[in-house]
Amino acid sequence: MTRWCPARVLWLVLLLAAGAAPGPAAALAQPFPVLRPTPGMVITRSVRIAPGTYALRASAHPDSALLTVRGQNIVVDLRGVTFVGQPADSAPDAAMGTAIRVDGGSDITIRGLSARGYRWGVVATGVRKLVLERNDFSHSWKPRLFSMVERESLVDWLSFHKNEADEWRRFGAGLHLRDIRGGRVQGNTVRQSMNGLLLSHSDSLDIRDNDFSYNSGLGIGLYRASWHLIVNNRLDYNVRGSSLGFYQRGQDSAALLLFEQCTHNVVAYNSMTHSGDGVFLWAGQHTMDTGQGGSNDNLFLMNDVSYAPTNGLEATFSRNQFIGNRVVGSTHGLWGGYSFESRIVGNCFADNRIAVAIEHGQDNLIGGNRFAGDSTGIRLWADSIAPSDWGYPKFRDTRSRDWRIVENRFTAVPTPWRLANTQVTDSSRNVLHDTLPAPCDPSRIVPTTAWWRVPVIANAPTRWPASVNATRDRSAIVVDEWGPYDWQSPKLWPLDSTRAPSQRLRVLGPAGQWSLASMRGVRTISARAGRTGDTLRVTLHPDSLHQWDLQLRYIGAATTSARGVKRAAGVAQRFGFGVDEPRQRWQARVLPFADSLNPLERPELMAQLQQTSAVWQRALPRLDWLWSRPRDTGIPASNFLMLAEGEVWLDAGTYTLRTLSDDAVRVWVNDSLVIDDWAPHESRPAYATWRVTGAADAGKPVSHRVRVAYVQRGGWVELRLDWLRGVVRPSPGSAGPH
């Protein structure tokens, strides 16, 4: 087993420091020529871009950029420069193009740029000694999300499995780096985008003092990236797929992702709270197929990974060290399936459902940790039958064996440990019912015995860079259709189902006062004025359960909207929440079919299938299905056709009809086929526009006859039908798996 020790860490730090030099001192001392930027400009020597704000729309072509840098010993000084790719009121998923491209070369520094409204801030490939410092690429591209308050959508799940040919470029990021050898990424900011830093096929970067928070995908993502030092970064609230009280899934978002053979990275003193996973580490497909390699020998030291909807730390099929981390209030503190020869030492786990959960682990040490208030402290197990459809168990012994569980302390943990099919070689010196106070401060509990001494990292802080929002519990995670809320502007958010006749809404945001501006469809409200933090109780009119709106007026501290619009303190602004769904009613029936009668493969059988007897038939208030197993025993798990006939009442105007479906769907309105998404597919959206005229112009909704045909072959079921006012820009969501 490879061990991290102080000398080895110091060697890595010195290596990184040597690789981070921004270029020859003589070049930095010379005054740079001052240039005004023009789209397509190629920079081959050190320059200063004239300060100012430039509205520059970038080409969508992935190989183009506003500025391209090529050569050696180049500094591009952009302090005081702002590039704007699209107006702030534009949809975030309409952003396109690249602000700066670094195409090969060495000793290149990009400093001080602020750029918003692009798909990529900096794209750099094949660079030796790259320095990116004090740039801000916030408020850039991010996808529309389809998971809302009380209903999740599979469309939003992320897939990072393929990146050999730069497939991650489809996601967008503030910084996208590939084939980088040495350098520094320091003091940069990427917020309210999808990803902060995506780094692949690279090594030996010093990544520190950055703020990659409040993004809807990843703070930092590594792919085949090794020997990096990741220290003192804020990577909080990188999250999606979370709605307190309804679902907590994360959908593979994470503060830090290490995917596919990422080794020998030092991750220390970072704040990585309130993210889908705090850390998500996976060995890689090569390991899964062959049993060889893995994302091994990484050190996770003194990080805060608390309040994850799913896992504070997830590290599977690999060998790593987890020392002195704070893991509070997550579903799992550490999920480490198939981990081997790993050390979980001196961490503080508190108020997690399961603090440490590891299946099929071997030769691991759980020592000197503090457990406080977790439902279960340690759960270890092995299944009696290994999966037969993947290679790893064919080449590796996957028994749960040779565990050491020593010197741990448990306070108010009902089940200190739960073991099944597991062999423990040492379980000595544990305190199962500790009565001492249990503050979750790793700096006070990390063991200092010689065999697990904490490594020393040069120029490291004494603790993670905590912010006020990093200390809140999981209720602080609020995700709307554009990603996580950052608490920088007022927001009204429901605490209950938005379709309930009586419900609570909370006033969120900076300190200030609010007053009632308007309400529609609301019969009673608990207060008409108050302060940020209030919870309002509203009762809806019985005939307005799906068409209501509440608007408030805010006056208080300075604010910054999710699109980057700043307002000074004392400037009044409106905010609110509402639901706008047309009145509708449906009759649905489910018809099973045999494999040989699949209507997707044999469309000529569709008419015949529609004449068969239904195994399930119901009246439904709307079409909104999502499950992995049928909620009703009358519905088959696979191979069925669902036919629904409905009546929808629409006011005059233009509507966008949107389906979310897996496996196939067709929609007719008044016998016109408007959505034909009939080829088998995983969950994805489809769109159609429908114009309502005639009697509705007199103020009366018009009834429309709608028919839906939906086919499910197997796996997850998703079918949702939404009527959205106006022409809504079609969005594919998160670009889907590749």
Residue 455 has pLDDT above 90, yes or no: no
Which of 311, 440, 326 lies closest to 372, judged by CA? 440
Name the token pair of 620: 């439904």
Residue 21 has pLDDT above 70, yes or no: no
Contacts of 122 (CB under 8 A, 6+ apart): 98, 99, 100, 101, 102, 110, 132, 135, 137, 174, 175, 176, 177
Residue 695 has pLDDT above 80, yes or no: no
Give CA–CA dist 116/214, Å, rounded. 15
Q: Which amino acid is present at 583? A: R
Q: Which residues of 526-549 are buried (b: 16+ CB within 10 A; e: fewer)?
A: eeeebebebebebebeeeebbbbe
Residue 1 has pLDDT above 70, yes or no: no
Give CA–CA dist 616/605, Å, rounded. 20
Question: For 124-169, how does the pLDDT look when each residue is reduced to its tens digit (9 = 90+)?
Answer: 999 999 999 999 999 999 999 999 999 999 999 999 999 999 999 9
- Residue 7, pLDDT score: 40
- Give the CB-side neighbour count of residue 603, counting CA atoms within 13 A: 6
pLDDT band at 463 (very low <50, low <70, confident <90, very high): confident
Report helix, strand or coil for 291.
coil
Backbone angles phi, psi at 113, to 5 degrees: -80, 140
- Residue 5, pLDDT score: 45
Averaged pLDDT, 51-55: 97
Mean pLDDT of the chain: 91
pLDDT band at 225 (very low <50, low <70, confident <90, very high): very high
Averaged pLDDT, 658-665: 96
Kindly calculate the radius of gyration of the chain based on its CA atoms and give it in whole angstroms.
Answer: 27
The secondary structure element, H or E, covering residue 288 is helix 285-290
Averaged pLDDT, 215-241: 98
Total-model pTM: 0.94
Asked if 273 and 294 touch (Cβ cutoff 8 Å), the reply is no
Contacts 24+ apart (CB under 8 A), 326-329: 326/440, 326/441, 326/442, 326/464, 327/278, 327/352, 327/355, 328/352, 328/440, 329/473, 329/474
Most confident of 220-224, 444-448, 647-651, 701-705: 220-224
Instruction: Please work out, in degrees rounded to the nearest 5, the angle formed at the alpha carbon of residue 313 by the alpha carbons of 121 and 562.
Output: 35
Question: For 63-112, how does the pLDDT look when each residue is reduced to its tens digit (9 = 90+)?
Answer: 899 999 999 999 999 999 999 999 999 999 999 999 999 999 999 999 99
pLDDT band at 16 (very low <50, low <70, confident <90, very high): very low
- Residue 467, pLDDT score: 79
Question: For 571-610, how does the pLDDT look when each residue is reduced to its tens digit (9 = 90+)?
Answer: 999 999 999 999 999 999 999 999 888 999 998 889 889 9
- Residue 447, pLDDT score: 54
Please state, for a pLDDT cut of 70, what percent of the chain lies above it: 92
Give CA–CA dist 474/471, Å, rounded. 10
Alpha-carbon torsion (527, 532, 537, 540), positive or negative: positive
Asked if 687 and 118 touch (Cβ cutoff 8 Å), the reply is no
Tokens 């670009």 belong to residue: 735
- Residue 460, pLDDT score: 77
pLDDT band at 391 (very low <50, low <70, confident <90, very high): confident
Which of 236, 266, 235 lies closest to 12, judged by CA? 266
- Residue 25, pLDDT score: 41
- CATH class held by domain 583-725: mainly beta
- Residue 4, pLDDT score: 45
Contacts of 26 (CB under 8 A, 6+ apart): none
Q: Where are the domains of the chain?
A: 485-580, 583-725
Pairing status of strand 702-712 against strand 640-650: antiparallel
Name the token pair of 718: 């998703």
Give CA–CA dist 212/484, Å, rounded. 13
Backbone angles phi, psi at 543, to 5 degrees: -90, 10
Question: For 297-330, how does the pLDDT look when each residue is reduced to its tens digit (9 = 90+)?
Answer: 999 999 999 999 999 999 999 999 999 999 999 9
